[in-house]
Amino acid sequence: MKICVLVKEVPDAAVEKKINPSTGRMDRSGEKNLNPYDTHAIEAAMQIKEGGAVPVEEIVAVTMGPESAVRALHKAVSLGADRSVHLTDEAVAGSDVAATGYALARTLQRESPDLVLLGQQSDDGECYTIGAVVAEHLGMPSLTQVIKMDIESEALRCERQAEYGYDTVQIKLPAVISVGDAINEPRYPSLKAIMGAKKKPLDSVSAADVEIDPSKVGGENSAAQWVAAKAPPSKAAGEIIEDEDTDETVEKIVAWLDERKLI
């Protein structure tokens, strides 16, 4: 079985995210990192491989992004992927969710995976839905927010929380699954794995290499068009107490609650 894991490079959690007013796109300068949610997808792939219920020949990390996204792939490899594929092309820059999912599906098609794993959300895009788009293009069944996944020869038994409680769904392979962050506790990469990551095969492909129709990708061709960005309605900032002396802090909280007749 071959598992592809979709990973994304995102601004580091400590970097303030903002919009570049001249392009209307996200300002992607500043420190970047592998999307933390994607480490759960890599870990899920590793656990299938190590679990031994089915033989896993290969785990391939796949990303779409600028030059710098290579570092996210190195990180993915240090966490266990055997090799990686980088779709990078000016033509796909600025793609919306639907176009990104299409481009990733084209890239995955070449790999013919038995299972595609994703994270529950990207830290910057926050769409939760790339998996559903990819699955539709690949003609595969899919489920998002999966927190338990048992593999049984030709199918997966998946659990996830939906609107009315927990659902258990059987999904036949090949399939596209986005995993929730409760599915596992990702491991830390070993120093050796970090050092070795750059030596693992990394295949850089263009839009043409994976037969992406250029009229379907990129900011100008995306069907959802950003027309403006504005600031949210401003809300009076709340009061903040830094806890130094806890007795004093508690006294202040009680007074605050008492003033509002909450005790």
Ligand X SMILES: Cc1cc2nc3c(=O)[nH]c(=O)nc-3n(C[C@H](O)[C@H](O)[C@H](O)COP(=O)(O)OP(=O)(O)OC[C@H]3O[C@@H](n4cnc5c(N)ncnc54)[C@H](O)[C@@H]3O)c2cc1C
In the complex, which residues of this chain contact ligand X (CB under 6 A)? 120-121, 128, 145
Which of ligand AMP, ligand X, other proteins, none does residue 142 bind (CB under 5 to 8 Å by kind)?
A: other proteins
Per-residue CA distances from 142 to 116, 118, 139 (Å): 9, 11, 9
- Encoded one letter per residue, x for contact with ligand AMP by CB under 6 A and - for no contact, window 223-242 reads --------------------
Is 129 near ligand AMP (CB under 6 A)? yes
- Amino acid (one-letter) located at 124: D
Is 102 near other proteins (CB under 8 A)? yes
Is 239 near other proteins (CB under 8 A)? yes
CA distance 42 to 257: 45
Taking the complex as a whole, how short is the minimal distance between the CB of residue 158 and ligand X, in angstroms? 15
Long-range contacts of 222-225 (CB under 8 A, 24+ apart): 222/94, 222/95, 222/96, 222/98, 222/99, 223/96, 223/98, 223/99, 224/96, 224/97, 224/98
- Residue nearer to ligand X on the CB measure, 100 or 178: 178
CA distance 39 to 200: 18
- Residue nearer to ligand X on the CB measure, 37 or 102: 37
Q: Please list every residue from 150 through 179 that binds other proteins, using CB under 8 A.
A: 157, 161-172, 175
Taking the complex as a whole, how short is the minimal distance between the CB of residue 88 and other proteins, in angstroms? 22
Per-residue CA distances from 232 to 216, 235, 249 (Å): 31, 9, 31
Which of other proteins, ligand AMP, ligand X, none does residue 257 bind (CB under 5 to 8 Å by kind)?
A: other proteins
Strand partners, 203: 85
Taking the complex as a whole, how short is the minimal distance between the CB of residue 120 and ligand X, in angstroms? 5
Please name which of 92, 93, 105, 95 lies closest in space to residue 4, comparing C-alpha atoms: 105
Which of other proteins, ligand X, ligand AMP, none does residue 238 bind (CB under 5 to 8 Å by kind)?
A: other proteins
Q: Which of 133, 149, 197, 207 binds other proteins (CB under 8 A)?
A: 133
- Encoded one letter per residue, x for contact with ligand AMP by CB under 6 A and - for no contact, window 37-76 reads xx--x---------------------xxx-----------
CA distance 38 to 61: 10
Taking the complex as a whole, how short is the minimal distance between the CB of residue 14 and other proteins, in angstroms? 8
CA distance 211 to 203: 15
CA distance 167 to 180: 14
Q: Please list every residue from 10 through 39 that binds ligand AMP, using CB under 6 A.
A: 35, 37-38
First to last CA, the chain: 60
- Residue nearer to ligand X on the CB measure, 93 or 182: 182
- Chain residues binding ligand AMP by CB under 6 A are 6-8, 35, 37-38, 41, 63-65, 100, 104, 118-119, 121-122, 125-130
